[in-house]
Each structure stands twice: as structure tokens, then as C-alpha cells.
Amino acid sequence: MSTTPATLDAPLALPCGATVPNRLCKAALTEGLADAMNHATVRHERLYRAWSVGGAGLVVTGNVQIDRRYLERPGNVVIDGGATGGDEGLDALRRYAAAGTVGGNHLWMQLNHPGRQTPTHVCAEPIAPSAVPLLNHSAAQFAPPRAMREDEIEDVVRRWAHAATVARETGFTGIQVHAAHGYLLSQFLSPVANRRTDAWGGALANRARLLREVLRACRSAVGADFPIGVKLNSSDFQQGGFGADDCLQVVRWLGEDGVDLLELSGGSYESPTMMGAKLRGPDAERPVSDSTRRREAYFLEYAAAMRGAASMPVMVTGGFRTRAAMDEALAGGELDMIGLGRPLCVDTDLPRRLLAGDCTEAVAYERGIDPPKAGLAWFCLQLLRIGDGLEPDRGLDGTTAMARYAENEASTARGLVGR
């Protein structure tokens, strides 16, 4: 796509014909607020109303699972047209979508399958392209996966399309296919996680086949005028993993597949660069230029490289905190949208204030969390608080956050009904 310099308040026209009112996106943030049936609740309505009036032109939901057997967290929302059938909580989804669009923003449902990144307290035998366990994690955290049969792969495609249909029918204004961060589609893309020798593994065209079949099935389910985004790793940042060259080719294919917005991120549970962890593997050797450091964003350098191959608008998420860096990246034509994650776990109205010029810098809460490994728990607990109608707790101590989060996840897992 030609590089079109833009300002933060400029609308963005998508290939499908929809328009996003400005260039700020609330990136996907897993909420953990579903009920014991994994249906949406009034807690989603509270949280998403706050984000909707918060000013971002695009709000992407936390990952919604397409198969209730395999969850990223026990409190995920699930749209499961499979064996469980029955009530999918459609009315609750309608109320969630209505609350999440009161501000006139787009609200896209992120659809995901965690594959081998399914915690053990959710599932004792997760599925994955191949039986390759996660590095740096114990079996108590993530049980070793088994390789998927071909009919299971085809089932994933069908489930994704079903969930996309439900998203449209219940009032969400788009979907985002999660193909990043080491979840199932990202596992298929990775030569490390995907050791298959059939038509779903080996050459990049085979490793990308599941993602592309999911996109084709979703497009045919939702029609030509409904936005479909993809979140993709610019690199896995792992020795022998999905790297920048692979990404470049996949980005070209995503253009052929009619993707409306490409969100670039990076990393996985094995190499959590999406949160700014120190890069490991071959890409770690790449020099990080001064300008990139100045501009904060972790993946901006990669985005600039992908830009030439991308026929659709590009968004970059990870690290953006100052209005100056956002303006600079937009003006430089390196991207079309800015994704924001952690700051919006606390300051839900940050986009509105940035757009109004009332704020020039987001608070980087992650820098004050001690120990740093408590970050995810700390941010997740803020979302639970907002969902419960409480104010965020900016003074929350990291060690307390980890203990409370672990207890919340364990008790939510114990409370799940009908599994």
C-alpha cells in the first residue's frame, strides 16, 4: 500500500468499505470476565462501555475462544458451535456489543484458539500442530500437547467461521483473527512448533495454510463488507522460528485474502517480546536504531519493512506511549493505526485525551511494577476491577497482584460448568 501520512484524528477507510473514525486502537486485552458457562456478562458491558466512550476509533476485544475445551484463560468468552452446541449466550453478546459501541467506535471481536498455550488447569492434553511442548514452562503450567488430526484442523476452520458469523449477528462491527503470540495459528506458522510432514507443515505455504483457510472461511461467512483484521507476529524472535522474511511473504498473501487491517506484534509465551521483553534469538542481533528507540514502539522497524508488501492498512502495537512518537510514526507513513494495550487497562479514556491534546504521554505503569514479572497479573486485575465497577488500583503491589491473580484463575477454572 502506498504510504499515506496521516494525523491521529483522521478517519481510516478499510478495503471492505468500512471507516474507522480515528487512528487509535484499544488493542486486544484478555478480560477473564466470562461466567461459568464462558458467556459474556454485565462486567464486559461495564468495561467495554468505558473503552467505547474512551475515544479509540477501534476497540478490539480480548481473545474470544472458538472451542470451549481449549481456553487461554478460564474466564474467556467462548463461541462454540461444536459438540457443546446449545445456548451460546447470544443475548449477552448483543448487550456487550451495544455497550462497546455507544461511543460510535468500531468494536471487533478477536477470535482465537490457544493450541499448546492452553493452561493445564483448563486442559490436561492440549492440541497443537505437533507434539512439541512449550520451552521454559513446566507441565504443571502447560501440559505437553498432542498433534492434531486432519479432521481436527478442518474443525478449527469451521468453528472460526461460525464464531465470525455470531460476531456479526450480535452487533460486533468486525473480527480480528489472532495469528500472533504463539497461539494455534502462530504455532502452525512456526517451523519450531509445526513439524508436520503433511499439507499443513513444511514449506511456508503449508504452514500458512490454516491461517489462510480460516480467513477464506470467515470471509465467506461474514460477506465482503465486514472488516476482517489479522494480528500477526513480525517475528517470533526465536531461533529457527517464524521470522521477518516469512512474515513478509505471509503479509503479501494476506493482501490476496482480502484482509482489512494488519496488526503487527511479535513474540510468544516462550519469548514474550510483545510486552517489550529483551529480544532473544537471531533477531536479537539486529541493531535497534536510535530513531526506533526514540519512537518507543517495539516493532516499528519491522513494520517499515513489511509496509511495501502490505496492500492493506497496517497497525503496530507494543510500546507506544507518547503522542510525539505516534504522530511521528503516522506522519512518516510507516503505519496507519496505533495500537495501545497496557495504558488502557487503567486509563480507559486515554485516547480521548490524546486526541484532544489534553495529554501528551500515557503513563507507562509497567515501569513501576515490582517485580516486573507481575506485570500481566497487575494489568489483568485492573480489568477485573473496572468490570466490577471499581476504580483501578494504581498502587497495587506486584507480589499481591500475582497471588490474587493466581487465586482468581484457579477459582474461575474450578467454577466452570459443564466441562
Ligand X SMILES: Cc1cc2nc3c(=O)[nH]c(=O)nc-3n(C[C@H](O)[C@H](O)[C@H](O)COP(=O)(O)O)c2cc1C
List contacts with ligand X (CB under 6 A): 27-30, 62-63, 110, 178, 181, 231, 265, 274-275, 317-320, 340-342, 345, 376, 379-380
Closest distance of CB 176 from ligand X, Å: 8
Cβ nearer to ligand X, comparing 39 with 196: 39
Give the number of other CB atoms < 10 A from CB of residue 45.
Answer: 20
Cβ nearer to ligand X, comparing 25 with 97? 25
Tell the smallest beta-carbon distance from residue 78 to ligand X (Å): 13
| Min dist. Cβ of residue 194 to ligand X (A) | 20
> Taking a C-beta distance cutoff of 8 angstroms, is the pair 115, 127 a contact?
yes
Considering the complex, what minimum distance in angstroms separates the CB of residue 85 from ligand X? 25
Shortest separation between residue 130's beta carbon and ligand X, angstroms: 23
With contact defined as beta carbons under 8 Å apart, do 230 and 315 qualify? no
Are the beta carbons of 307 and 1 closer than 8 angstroms?
yes
From 131, 108, 241, select the one nearest 177 (Cα to Cα): 108
Residue number with CB closer to ligand X (178 or 196): 178
CA distance linking residue 95 with residue 45, whole number of Å: 7
| Cα separations in angstroms, 72 against 65, 69, 182 | 8, 10, 11
Give the number of residues written for the chain: 419
> What does R_g of the chain's alpha carbons equal in angstroms?
20
Considering beta carbons, is residue 143 or 315 the nearer one to ligand X?
Answer: 315
Q: Are strands 12-13 and 19-20 parallel, antiparallel or unpaired?
A: antiparallel
Residue 319 CB, nearest approach to ligand X (Å): 5
Answer yes or no: are the C-beta atoms of 72 and 112 closer than 8 Å: yes
| Closer CB to ligand X, 192 or 340, in the complex | 340
Question: How far lies 160's CA from each of 88, 150, 219, 220, in Å?
Answer: 14, 16, 11, 11
CB 372, min distance to ligand X, A: 13
Strand extents, DSSP E, 167-271: 174-179, 228-233, 261-265
